[in-house]
Amino acid sequence: MTGTTIRLQGCRKAFSDGTVAVDDLNLTIEAGETLAILGPSGCGKTTTLRMIAGLERPDVGRIFFTDRDVTRLPIERRDVGMVFQNYALFPNLDVAGNIVYGLKIRGLSPAERNKRCAELLELVGLQDHGKRRIHELSGGQRQRVALARALAPRPRVLLLDEPLAALDAQLRERLRSELDQLLRSLRITSVFVTHDQGEAMALGDRILVMERGRVAQLATPRDIYQQPANAFVASFVGNLNAFPVIEPTAHGLKVSGGELPWKGIPVPKTVYCRPEHLRVMDGAGHVRGRLVGQFFQGAQSRLLVDVGAEQPLLVDSADGVIHATGALIALAIEPHVLFTLHS
Amino acid sequence: MKRTTLFIAQLVFTLLVCAFMLVPVLMSLLAGLTRNYFVGVSSGLTLDWLIQVWQSYSPTVWLSLQLAVACAVCVCVIGVPAAYALVRMNNRFSRAFEELMVLPVAMPGLASALALLLTYGQFGEFRSSWLFILVGHVLFTLPFLVRPVMAVMQRQQLPTLEEAAASLGAGPIKRFFSVVVPNCRAGILAGVLMVVTLSLGEFNLTWMLHTPMTKTLPVGLADSYASARLEVASAYTLIFLLMIVPLLIALQAISARLSRGERR
Amino acid sequence: MTTVPLNVQDVSSRRDVLQRLRPTAAWALAPAAAVLLAFWLLPLAHLILLGGQRRDGSDTGYWQVLSSAQYLGSLVQTCILAAVVTLAALLVGGISGVFLARQQFFGRSALVALLTFPLAFPGVVVGFLVILLAGRQGLFAALGLELAGERWIFAYSLTGLFIGYLYFSIPRVILTVMAACESLDRSLEEAAHSLGAGHWRVVCDVIVPGLAPALVSCGAICFATSMGAFGTAFTLGTRLNVTPVAIYNVFTNYANFTVAAALSVILGAVTWAVLLLARRVAKQSGAVF
């Protein structure tokens, strides 16, 4: 079965009080791809998901599922599967009743419904839970039932609204990998919304970072992390160190606290790097500063080093060395990890 | 499209229901002011019927007002402490008491009135005074004060406030009047308005308990519906509505303010 | 930051305060308890006993009622009328209530206010309004005269009583439904839509079950009110065979206290049983929700 491509063309949505939630959005989601929509609250990610679902209609623009214009279709005719943030399971039906709800509407016979229900219960690992009532289930179990219910009618598209937000941290980790395996094996076109960048990078084939209703960047997780398009994306996904350039030197750039190795003709105003790329050196390094903070995070430690700039540098160090506060720290960096940004 | 036709259908339906509610009331208002109902509005508008009603039936109006005020006072004196007790106790006993308190409202008013008559009817003085009716009204309206006041007390987390006052040395009576009552003012006000409205309109109990000397407004209305001209009956109804509607408006305003405070 | 160690003395004195507060609170219940005891419980007990008495050597009040086709008939008729009114009010009030709760339009709050004022009208006034609508000189009489050449009069029959009871039941349902709608979870409806359910399907599968507890308890109150209503029937004519009217007739016209007492107790018992049943049903479905 060939998958469904989702295309948004010039979509715009404003609310009754005038705020523009989504402004001129053009987006193509490939068949079988999992797209993560990431951004701060109010950036329009949920509105975008709801427009794809059919719960909101764009004021301007069109939405296509493969070649079919679905802009005017309400959600009940779009053949999408949707998992809601708080699962929205029907309390008056048991687990099996919830799962087969969509099948009942499509007119499947009881035998077919039961067969499909058993398939899905096995898929999500809830084999003997068919007769349980919703209020008896734990958070993780409810999430799985919501997933099973959305997938039962074999929808063309799977949409998830912050699927793991309502779970505690431990459970979230576990379900994240289960969800990842599931989405990969199903090869269904899916779109999910999240504000958790770790989740977006783990589950998404591509990430759409949104800011104030507009596309900030649409790329693979690796590209977004290593080559962020602008300052917003760079600071939203992962942490960032900024080095305002004082002046160019023979071998690089003079910055507060030292000199960075830089090859290239256009001299940028600021260069950036990620915390894990700064190495703590025993002897000399590229920049030097005083330790003002140290946080043990298990696998690594985060150091805050004051080099005389506005903000201290963030350094993620896995060497396990405990430094004294105020000690002099030397940091080295490879030239290829430095990058520049457009704002 | 489909959504809009549904909206229009529901709107029309609701407007029809509204018409069902309003049209008779408007007819009654008009009839009370028309010179001759059979002829219609063309016979001219007049206040004569209102004047006639007032001349014949004003004692009922005064008695009803007297009863309503007395009922409100009694219910406050009995009910506010009761609400306080029920909120503080919050155990099986208090829940059973709440059930008991609601029974005179849930059960047919006629039955309660009959019971009162058969038990206390022999005390002639009591039976023929307006206090007999007052007892019935108090029984019927008590839950309508206690419930809102309880709700407000629970929302204000009264037990905690009280413990704070007690820790500062206030005795029970002082706590009641300086902490409990002032903090429930809104609930008491809403309850009192409800009680007054209900007392003014109470009929089921009052009809059985009244005597020709103690006729309330609804009793008078029943008399006029049976015996008087339509215009007189309508004018009488108009007077009743004039008394009730401002109270209802005030009640709605207070409840709106209460629920808004809750949301904050 | 160092924590202040809790003094053992402080803890025990706080517990003392709490214990002292509770028995004092119970005393505040005394006046209400006294009033209810003296003026309701006692008379009720007296009424129940009275129904079991024999008058002039005939049967007990209860037996007279239960063995009389007329009294039983009026009881059954009252129950049926109350049930039909409740269902009609739930349907009409339910539709209007959901509509008013969900939609915003100009004049909405005024419409709501107008629809709920009749709650405070006494039964007699409602009876009068029914006469104005459907009595001998009523609106429908004039309408019938215009359209069909004969007056449409139905105020003085059970139909008129039905209309009257509907008149004060609909506002109650509307208010309850509007309040219940506020607490409905919209995402359930969206989920049902996402699975392909159309509008009416969602109403049946999601909205009605969601409103069910409120509808059941409100329906019970409407039923109880219609069972015990007297003023409306009184205004529309005491020939109507409903139990409250029967009680009134027996008491005033025949001074038959035992039968009147028995009828009252039975009427009250049926009403109370229905309320209890409704509460149990609501609690059961409440556990699911």
Q: Is the pLDDT of residue B228 over 90?
A: no
- Full pLDDT tens readout for chain C, 289 residues: 444 554 544 555 555 555 555 666 778 888 999 999 999 999 999 888 888 887 666 777 788 888 888 888 889 999 999 999 999 999 999 999 998 888 887 888 888 888 878 888 888 999 999 988 888 878 888 888 888 877 778 878 888 899 999 998 999 899 889 888 888 889 999 999 999 998 889 999 999 998 988 898 889 889 999 998 998 988 887 677 889 988 888 888 887 888 888 888 899 899 988 888 888 887 776 544 4
**From the CA of A203, how many Å to the nearest CA of chain C?**
23
Angle at C11 between CA C5 and CA C17, to 5 degrees: 150
**From the CA of B52, how many Å to the nearest CA of chain C?**
19
Cα separations (Å) of C41 from B103, C33, C203?
A: 10, 10, 44
Taking domain C61-288, whether its CATH number is 1.20.120.530 is answered by no
pLDDT at position A68: 92
Element (H, E) at B153: helix B130-155
Q: Which residue in chain C has the smallest CA separation from B233? A: C128
CA atoms within 13 A on the CB side of A109: 2
* Side-by-side strand order, sheet with A20-29: A20-29, A6-14, A60-65, A68-69
Cβ separation of A105 and C288 shorter than 8 Å? no
- How far is Cα C105 from Cα B163, in angstroms, rounded to an integer? 47
pLDDT at position B170: 76
- How far is Cα C130 from Cα A226, in angstroms, rounded to an integer? 79
- How far is Cα A154 from Cα A181, in angstroms, rounded to an integer? 17
Q: Strands A301-306, A157-161: parallel, antiparallel or unpaired by DSSP? A: unpaired
pTM: 0.77
- How far is Cα A191 from Cα C40, in angstroms, rounded to an integer? 66
pLDDT in tens, A250-259: 888 898 889 9
- For residue C250, the one-letter residue type is V
Best residue of A47, A84, A133 to probe chain C, by most C CBs closer than 10 Å: A84
Considering only the top CATH level, what class is A6-235?
alpha beta
Q: Is the pLDDT of residue A208 over 90?
A: yes
Is the distance from CB of A16 to CB of A24 less than 8 angstroms?
A: no
Over residues A19-47, the mean pLDDT reads 92
Q: Strands A287-296, A214-219: parallel, antiparallel or unpaired by DSSP? A: unpaired
Domain assignments of chain A as residue spans, ordered by start:
6-235, 241-337
- For residue A46, the one-letter residue type is T
Is the distance from CB of B112 to CB of C40 less than 8 angstroms?
A: yes
- Residue ranges of domains in chain B, CATH in brackets: 58-263 (1.10.3720.10)
Token pair belonging to C16: 């003392």
Name the residue with higher pLDDT: A264 or C91: C91
Over residues B44-48, the mean pLDDT reads 81
- How far is Cα B162 from Cα B167, in angstroms, rounded to an integer? 8
- How far is Cα B236 from Cα B231, in angstroms, rounded to an integer? 9
Q: Which residue in chain C has the smallest CA separation from B19? A: C115
pLDDT band (50, 70, 90) for residue B3: low
**From the CA of A133, how many Å to the nearest CA of chain C?**
8
Homologous superfamily of the A241-337 domain (CATH): Nucleic acid-binding proteins (2.40.50.140)
Portion of chain B with pLDDT greater than 70, in percent: 97
Render the burial of B172-193: b for 16+ CB within 10 Å, e for the rest.
beebbeebbbebbebbbbbbbb
Cα separations (Å) of C247 from B150, B205, B262?
A: 36, 13, 45
Q: Supply the DSSP string of A66-107, one letter for each residue.
A: TTEE-TT--GGGS-EEEE-TT----TTSBHHHHHTHHHHHTT
Residue written as token pair 């600071």: A235
Task: Examine the predicted complex and report whether its ipTM is higher than 0.90.
Answer: no
Is the distance from CB of B87 to CB of B154 less than 8 angstroms?
A: yes
Q: Which residue in chain C has the smallest CA separation from B237? A: C125
Q: Which residues of B are less than 8 Å from C121 in CB distance? A: 201, 244
Q: Strands A258-261, A270-273: parallel, antiparallel or unpaired by DSSP? A: unpaired
Classified as helix, coil or strand, B223 is helix
Q: Is the pLDDT of residue B195 over 60?
A: yes
**From the CA of B11, how many Å to the nearest CA of chain C?**
8
- How far is Cα B160 from Cα B154, in angstroms, rounded to an integer? 10
pLDDT at position A63: 95
Cβ separation of C205 and A90 shorter than 8 Å? yes
pLDDT in tens, B76-128: 999 999 998 888 888 888 888 888 888 888 888 888 898 888 888 888 888 88
- How far is Cα C113 from Cα B12, in angstroms, rounded to an integer? 17
Portion of chain A with pLDDT greater than 90, in percent: 48
Q: Which residue in chain B has the smallest CA separation from C223? A: B106
Residue written as token pair 């036709």: B5
Angle at C271 between CA C266 and CA C277, to 5 degrees: 125
pLDDT in tens, A86-106: 888 998 889 999 999 989 888
pLDDT at position A148: 94
Cβ separation of C257 and B118 shorter than 8 Å? yes
Q: Which residues of A touch C (CB under 8 A)?
A: 53, 55, 74-77, 79-82, 84-86, 88-92, 101-102, 105-106, 133, 135, 149-150, 153
- How far is Cα A338 from Cα A316, in angstroms, rounded to an integer? 16
pLDDT band (50, 70, 90) for residue A292: very high
Q: Is the pLDDT of residue A28 over 90?
A: yes
Name the residue with higher pLDDT: B36 or B60: B60
pLDDT at position C3: 47
- For residue C24, the one-letter residue type is T
A53, A91, A153: residue with CB nearest C196 = A153
Q: Which residue in chain A has the smallest CA separation from C284? A: A92
Best residue of C183, C188, C194 to probe chain A, by most A CBs closer than 10 Å: C194
Residue A295's Cβ-count burial label (10 Å; 0-12, 13-18, 19+) is: exposed
Best residue of C106, C124, C168 to probe chain B, by most B CBs closer than 10 Å: C124
Best residue of C186, C187, C195 to probe chain A, by most A CBs closer than 10 Å: C195
Q: Strands A34-38, A301-306: parallel, antiparallel or unpaired by DSSP? A: unpaired
pLDDT band (50, 70, 90) for residue B1: very low
Pick from A212-226, A312-326, B28-42: least confident: B28-42
Nearest Cα residue to A157 out of A62, A57, A31? A31
pLDDT at position A190: 94
pLDDT at position C20: 54
Q: Is the pLDDT of residue A131 over 80?
A: yes
Pick from A112-116, B20-24, B163-167: least confident: B163-167
